Amino acid sequence: MYKNNTVGLLGVLCTLLVLISCKPGSPEEKNTYKAQGSAASLSEAEYNSLTALEQYQVANRLLATFFKGVPAQEFFDVSTMTGNEADLRVADGSTGYISNIKDQLNTHLENRQSYYTKVVGDGDIPGRYQFSSEARTPMEYPLAYMYELPLSDEFYARWIAYKLMNTILFSPAEEIDSASPEDADKLFQELSEGIVNHASIRSLIYQHEISETNWRRFRSPEDNTREMIEIYLGLFDRDEDVPKASIACKNWYLTDEDAGYVLKNDPAKNNTEPQLILDNYWVTTCEDVMQAISNHPLVIPRIATVLVDHMFDVGYDSEKKAAFVRSVVGAHPQTFTEMFNAILFSKEFLMNVERPMYFEESFFNTAARIYWTPNSTFFRELAGTSGTGGGMATNLLVMNQPSMSLKLGRWPSVPLDSLGFSYYHRGIRDVALLKRKTNYDNPYNGGYWGWDAKFIGSAVDYLREDAYINYIFISVLGRYATQSELDEINSIITTAKKADGNPEFNPTSTNGGTIVTTRIDIALTVMDYVSRLPELYFYNAVN
């Protein structure tokens, strides 16, 4: 590859740059990146200055982004959970919560292989859940990984890979006939391993550009080179570059369906005449084209723009978003971990961003906050290809949020059409909030999964009447109920008691170690109400 008519040397240097950037970085290299300006991190002092309830909101906003959550009774000093917000205090272990999360994401996962190797009875992922035939497991495993893995470098790498594969940047396009779940699996593993080993953004882009997985998404030299220029550089008006770039790639082709859509190289069609693309880059081979794109100055700004769109929503204030992107890029991030750290731990994201939540964000955060556990087929059904069934009332496909499937990735705005959102609501309400575990011994019994009695158990059994209702509000929504909400819910509870002759509400009474029905019914009534509130499906500004 040549730049500014300088022959040979720069091509060699660019190749070396790509190869060197794949090497793991040292601990010092991992921690040098720090964004300033509008992308400045929320400091520990700023976080600790928030009220206890605001700290809980911020903590769960961040954890929801990672498809995790923290229960209220673990975050707060439960003895202060009365009906008065001013009394609320965080538990001793909850101070510095955001800094602790960041530290965990930089910590090596112990006993890594135990999560992936099937050992009967050992609690590993393959042994705990039932997945589809091998053809579909690549679409189901990533969600199970992120649910089971604790916060760690391994978890973070897989989460980043999953997020990237749901954007236009790295979507494996499983929906089209030339792609397959095996492509998704290969790309997921390659991205995860590259990220955990601190490979550079540019090296991961280059390796993807020349991969069979990428060519199965964009099949011809003309289509592929055009899409690479648009996707990774954000240049949508470079029609003059496409014919010249495709000449350099004319020896690359994808076989037909009968031959298995294999990426081939025909030496008889090798190009020998250098082509000038993107104003400055002379290219002869397809590798030259892809290196010109991955090493282009516009790559980092473009990647930051796409990721900020997905994390902030395309409708977020354009001037604020542009300033945020400039701050991220200005600190010169080299890896995806650095770039995501800048976005996710920024004060702007943690305190101010308002947008709809993707299903994974809302569902898994809610589930963790109420001690919910899935059944063995949950991830298979969640990533299902059609309809609904089994224990799940819905899946990502019918919500219009299919995972790693769309050719151009998920749209940066969460689909909120009537039908798709009705399935989204049903997933939160029916599968999480109203699905109570009733059987603790038989995994083949339908009552074996759902939220655990621990959610309303001994740790909070001193809470009475409005304080108990507020506890559920805090747990699920991160706020107290308004007086009008308390009045309405109490009215519903009173009416129900009169109708079925239930005894007076006694939150401390038990029967053979099992919480009495009235306490459970009140929790279900409150959660049914909460499931209908828009804020359950949105990130709302904390301040």
The residues, ordered by sequence, that sit 6+ positions from 160 with a Cβ below 8 Å of its Cβ are: 191, 195, 336, 337, 340
Return the closest-CA partner of residue 449 out of 130, 149, 139: 130
Are both 345 and 388 inside the same structural domain?
no
Higher pLDDT, 499 or 170: 170
Are both 377 and 248 inside the same structural domain?
no
Model confidence pLDDT, tens digit, residues 188-214: 999 999 999 999 999 999 999 999 999
Q: What is the pLDDT of residue 371?
A: 96
Q: Is the pLDDT of residue 474 over 50?
A: yes
Q: What is the pLDDT of residue 13?
A: 33
**Side chain identity, residue 512:** G
Percentage with pLDDT > 90 across the chain: 70
Domain hosting 385: range is 359-539
Are both 381 and 347 inside the same structural domain?
no
d(CA 170, CA 177): 17
Cα end-to-end distance, the chain, whole Å: 51
Query: Is position 402 within any domain?
Result: yes
Q: Of 26-40, 43-57, 230-244, 451-465, where does mean pLDDT reach its minimum? A: 26-40
Task: Give the C-alpha distances (Å, rounded to integers) separating 360 from 43, 418, 537.
Answer: 27, 19, 11
Query: Is position 505 within any domain?
Result: yes
Higher pLDDT, 440 or 360: 360
Are both 363 and 290 inside the same structural domain?
no
Are both 212 and 190 inside the same structural domain?
yes
**Side chain identity, residue 280:** N
The residues, ordered by sequence, that sit 6+ positions from 54 with a Cβ below 8 Å of its Cβ are: 542, 543
d(CA 223, CA 274): 20
Are both 447 and 465 inside the same structural domain?
yes
d(CA 390, CA 392): 6
Are both 333 and 421 inside the same structural domain?
no
Percentage with pLDDT > 70 across the chain: 86
Query: Is position 224 within any domain?
Result: yes
**Side chain identity, residue 275:** Q
Backbone angles phi, psi at 93, to 5 degrees: -80, 0
Which two structure tokens, joined as six digits, stand for 455? 């959610």
Are both 261 and 400 inside the same structural domain?
no
Q: What is the pLDDT of residue 444?
A: 62
- pLDDT bin (cut points 50, 70, 90) of residue 9 is very low
Stretch 37-55: mean pLDDT: 94
Instruction: Among 311, 326, 351, identify where a domain stops.
Output: 351
Q: How many structural domains compose the chain? A: 2
Q: Is the pLDDT of residue 364 over 90?
A: yes
Please give the model's pTM, rounded to 2 decimal places.
0.89
Q: Is 166 left (phi over 0), alpha (psi -120 to 50) or beta?
A: alpha
Q: Is the pLDDT of residue 20 over 80?
A: no
Stretch 369-397: mean pLDDT: 81
Are both 323 and 449 inside the same structural domain?
no
Are both 377 and 515 inside the same structural domain?
yes
Model confidence pLDDT, tens digit, residues 290-337: 999 999 999 999 999 999 999 999 889 999 999 999 999 999 999 999
Query: Is position 141 within any domain?
Result: yes
Instruction: Among 351, 385, 419, identify where a domain stops.
Output: 351
Q: How many CB atoms lie within 10 A of CB 250?
A: 16
Stretch 468-482: mean pLDDT: 95
